Amino acid sequence: MNAFKSNIYKYLGGTCQYLIPIFQRKYSWEWEQCERLWTDIVKLHNTHREGHFIGSIVRIDEDAPAGSTRAMIIDGQQRLTTLTLLLVALRDYAKENADCGVNPNKITDTLLLNQYETGNARYKLFLTQSDRDALIKKIEGIPVPEILKSRVLDNYDIFAGKIINLEISPADLYDAIGKLQIVDIVLDRQYDDPQAIFESLNSTGMNLKDSDLIRNHLLMGLDSGIQADIYNNIWRPTELLFDYEHQSELMDNFFRDYLTMKRGKIPKKNEVYKEFRSLPSEERVVNIQDLCTDIYRFARHYTDMYFLRSGDSGLKSLYGDMNAIRMEVAYPFLLKVHGDYDDGLITIDELREIVELCVSYVLRRAVCDIPTNSLNKTFATMKNNIKPDDYLNSVKASFILFDSYKEFPDDERFLDSFLTRDIYHMSRCGYILGRLENWNNKSVVVIDSLTIEHIIPQNPNLSTDWIAALGSNWRESHKKYLHTIGNLTLTAYNPEMSDSSFAEKLRMNGGFLQSALQLNKYVVMQTEWTETQVTERARQLGEIAKKVWPYPVLIEAELASYRPQNGSTPQYTLESYSYLNDFNRSLLDKLNTRILNLSPYVKREFKKVYIAYKADTNFVDVVIQSGRLRLVINMKFADVIDPKGICKDVTSVSKWGNGDVEVIFEHLDKLDDVMAIIEQSFRLQDVE
């Protein structure tokens, strides 16, 4: 390795062509990084300093025809590309403003082009395929088609706008750019490891994404011919599956879910790349091409789900449901299922049914207000329950037999919550009403232009007509039924309806009598709107909801083989604890919600004499006692921070549970104090 001090004009002013290798990430600097560079340049001029260090650029010299020099950039392409864009923008301004003190031809001939070369060799900086065309068009002054999207174009526009504002004169800007200092690091192919250096030098600008590191890890060490073949035919098509604006973020999420699918374990967000490097040996992948092909296969399924792409109308509709209720937690499991569909293990009908059950599972749990933080772990491990020779039934059985925090609410529990809970303030309210409207509707209604309407108005100061309709206990009825499903519908005339009486809402222009929505079929048949109508409509919608979000069905003979066999480990439930009563149950409900909300990795297990909450290991165990809960915190008593003095040292005391700290929970107003102790134990767990 050799290092030389240089400046940007000296670096670009020679005859070398700088190539961005195909395994590098695409150009990704955003407004923030461009703004910082611009500010540094202006400050450099205003403070009359002789130079400003902007970092190192690492390259490996390549074999080239006689008289030419080529170098592959290992680190520094973001800075080099951004400075090139700034020079192009300054050059273009100088072309339009001949008296600005900058020679545009000098910039082009010495800093942008190798004027004695031909073809692609002309360009000082030659980007990867995804950005190459955009930069060449800007250098050559060729009009850019509107369909061409690239951060190259966005950042050129940023600099062009700043130059026009004349915060610094063009001549001073040109001089200041020339004072930017770099360290030119040239690697020795025989002794230096480009991949190790690439990973360690990411200290300036935007941090490398996991997808960048993974691409480099897979492609950097390959023979150039194989590298180009895999990149052009597999990796580049994979990248194109992802959306331009959020490509890196979405690809990072995909790789985390891909690893989860493969390993049945969720990698920590900061360890995705680290864990990916061990994947080829674990999966017994014989070559990189096979692995890249596998990545492409599952990336296609991932982006189909994310962007609602499918030639099957049923699947496409289900992908829309997934998107509407934000169920990305199910992606690892559904990637596995889609892969098995590719392999012929299930039919398209079975694939659709499994996706539908996953949607129902997530939606029903949300309606029943079951904590969602364990869902990602539940879906991560579900593949372990699949029996290839009884695929669909094994998935159904898993859902049916889920208990405790994994529960799939059955029809009874689902309807109990669906009919009575506040649906309006759920983030999925619009989705729920839309799906109820379009159930078995031959003419699908697009609800984007509709808003949610409360039939009984939200205004607490109800009109005399509404007070009369609701009766003497109208305040209680208003509070109880206002936001429930029986009182909600969709309309394009929400402002017009406002606080109008029911009779007015029926007959007004755009009112319910003119509505073609299925949601309003029962409404338009009524002459008044009271508790009776709200509850009856809720019941009717509840019957539809059971069909829209179905519960898995298996006859007992089909389910029997999946039940735990006699003689297996005893199965305990909340009802197994003899001291459970209404009071300590209410304490436990509040405590349970707070503990499960600590992290998606927290799970609850019912043991013989206590309830265990664990992530890596148990961090709190709850013993149900008459009139209170006894908590055993898995910490050394000497380590606990207890400003309220609620902890007791039980180091030498015989007890149920794990740990040396005891806390008694017997009043809800102490919940925050109790959680402050529990969180200390949780933070000792080996989870993110």
- The 10s digit of each residue's pLDDT in 504-557 is 999 988 888 988 899 999 999 999 999 999 999 999 999 999 999 999 999 999
- What's the CA gap between 204 and 502, in Å, rounded? 64
Please determine, for residue 679, whether its predicted confidence score (pLDDT) is greater than 90: yes
**Nearest alpha carbon to residue 294 among 233, 351, 236, 339:** 339
Per-domain residue ranges of the chain: 2-207, 227-416, 418-548, 574-682
Provide the β-strand partners of residue 53: 181
| Contacts of residue 498, Cβ cutoff 8 Å, sequence gap at least 6 | 457
- Provide the mean pLDDT of the chain: 89
User: Cα(108)–Cα(98) distance, rounded to whole angstroms?
Assistant: 15
Query: What confidence tier does 566 reach under pLDDT thresholds 50, 70, 90?
Result: low
What was the pLDDT predicted at 280? 66
Rounded to an integer, the average pLDDT of 370-383 is 87
How high is the pLDDT of residue 661?
A: 95
Residue 651 is classified by DSSP as T
pLDDT of 373 reads: 75
Percent of the chain with pLDDT over 70: 93
**Rounded CA separation 418/411 (Å):** 10
Q: Which residues pair with 451 in a beta bridge?
A: 491
- Name the one residue in this structure whose structure tokens are 């755009």: 510
206-255 pLDDT tens trace? 466 788 888 888 887 777 788 888 988 999 899 889 876 677 789 999 99
DSSP 266: P
Question: Cβ(251)–Cβ(211) under 8 Å?
Answer: yes
Q: What is the pLDDT of residues 311-322, one digit of tens each?
A: 999 999 999 999
Tokens read off for 475: 């305040």
- Quick check: 677 pLDDT over 60? yes
Confidence class of residue 339 from pLDDT cuts 50, 70 and 90?
A: very high
Average pLDDT over residues 433-462: 89
Taking the C-alpha atoms of residue 506 and residue 471, their distance in angstroms, rounded to an integer, is 20
What confidence score (pLDDT) does residue 66 get? 58
What pLDDT is recorded for position 82? 96
What tokens appear for 332 in the block?
């690892």
337 or 443: whose pLDDT is higher?
337
